[in-house]
Structure 1
Amino acid sequence: MKEVMMLSLSTWFEKGMTFEEYRKSMEVNRDELSRVYENVAFSNGDLQFFSDLANKKWRGIVLTADWCGDASFCVPIIQRIAEKSSMELKFLIRDENLELMDQYLTNGTARSIPIFIFIDEAGNEQKVWGPRAEKVQEFLQSLLVQLPDKEAANFKDKQQEVFAQFKERVTTDPDMWRVVIDSVITRLK
């Protein structure tokens, strides 16, 4: 059996795109991502936490994809947090980086994104956040329970409606953005 050499997190970081490179590469959710990026706001308490976080000199690796509804609002929020924390994020497309993705599976099985891996100057993992805040998950679950049985003729149409409703809410509602901000701050403390 051939042993696979695992890349260091610093090497993965170096492989990544900048936020602007990632945004320019987008074809599906660029408008939503940009809207959130341009409109997310922080409290004075948030800004104080971000200022203190800057002292840690962390960097971040983001596993994401343009088609991902969660990434369309989590990525720009956490990019803004990173900017306020003097933290550089680098972006990797999930399906092009499965060796890393498979180390950060949700519930040990799902390649759910976005995943944010925060590392120190030496490249050691410090914290991981993603793919979504618990309260956002609860909101999605409240929509999913409305779906008909998977065998129903209209299941696919109804599923698309639910995901469209989810995406619309999370990319336009500052209260949902606040949930993400609070979740990230709690995780990074």
Structure 2
Amino acid sequence: MKLNDWFDRGLTYGQYVEGMTVNKEEMESIFDKFTLDEEKVGFLKGRQLRVIVLTEDWCGDALLNNPILMKIADAADMDVRFILRDQNLELMDQYLTNGTARSIPIFIFIDQKGEEVAVWGPRAVALQEMVDRVKATLPPADAHDFKEKQAGAFKQLRESYVKDSSLWDIVSESILEKVKERVL
């Protein structure tokens, strides 16, 4: 299937949000509070780009990144469609992280012909470094308290995603830089 076909079968943002069963409140909170400097998206205006988002509502990175993308899309007048990863592995497997991981979200920017322009995800580099630092503090996977410590670390990360607005700026800058390097 071609990217235009995937786009056509995707959910609108409203449909995606309506179907969410987890992280909905947190994601909407970020969307409501994040303020984008619209001058930064000026290079996107008139380019008629569209975005396919591979995502799932249970994903902590999606709860952070998806509302930031939507603010960018709103400011740049880009249409966005959401594809659920777990139901669409055929597409997901074309966008594996490091060639092996089905990490999400993945943002696939396409032109009107359905040609890929840029791909971003699943995290901004600075956030990946933050996650790596947190993971480095965990005990070995076979330790008796690994699951407990891992759950606590993920909870802490999730809370920072929702409350730390500086992370929102990092994500928006990362997305815009990636697209800018491919369209200019």
TM-score normalised by the chain length of structure 1 = 0.93
Q: What's 2:171 paired with?
A: 180
Q: Give per-residue Cα distances to partners, 1:38-95, cap 9 Å, x unaligned.
A: 011122xxx1232330211000100000110000010000011001000010001001
The answer on 1:130 being equivalent to 2:121 is yes
Q: Secondary structure at the match of 1:70?
A: helix
Pick aligned residue for 1:97 from 88, 93, 100: 88
Where structure 1 has 5 or more consecutive residues not aligned to the other structure, the ranges are 1-6
User: 1:116 and 2:146 equivalent?
Assistant: no
State which drifts further: 139-148 or 11-20: 139-148
**Is residue 28 of structure 1 aligned with residue 19 of structure 2?**
no
The yes-or-no answer on 1:160 pairing with 2:151 is yes
Secondary structure of 1:89's match? strand
Mapping of 1:10-159 within 5 angstroms?
Answer: 10-43=4-37, 47-159=38-150
Question: C-alpha distance in 2, partners of 1:84/1:40?
Answer: 13
- 1: CA distance between counterparts of 2:48 and 2:22? 32
Structure 1 segments of 4 or more deviating over 4 A? none
Identical-pair percentage: 44
Aligned-residue offset at 1:149: 1.2
Query: Which residue of 2 is the match for residue 3 of structure 1?
Result: none
| 8 Å Cα contact 2:23/2:63 also seen in 1 | yes
Number of residue-to-residue matches in the alignment: 180
The question of whether the paired residues in 1 share the 8 Å contact of 2:36 and 2:71 is answered with: no
2-side partners of 1:78 and 1:91: how far apart? 12
What amino acid maps onto 2:44 in structure 1?
Answer: L
* Higher helix proportion: 2
The whole-number CA distance in structure 2 between the counterparts of 1:42 and 1:30 is: 21
2:161 corresponds, among 156, 165, 170, to 170
RMSD: 0.8
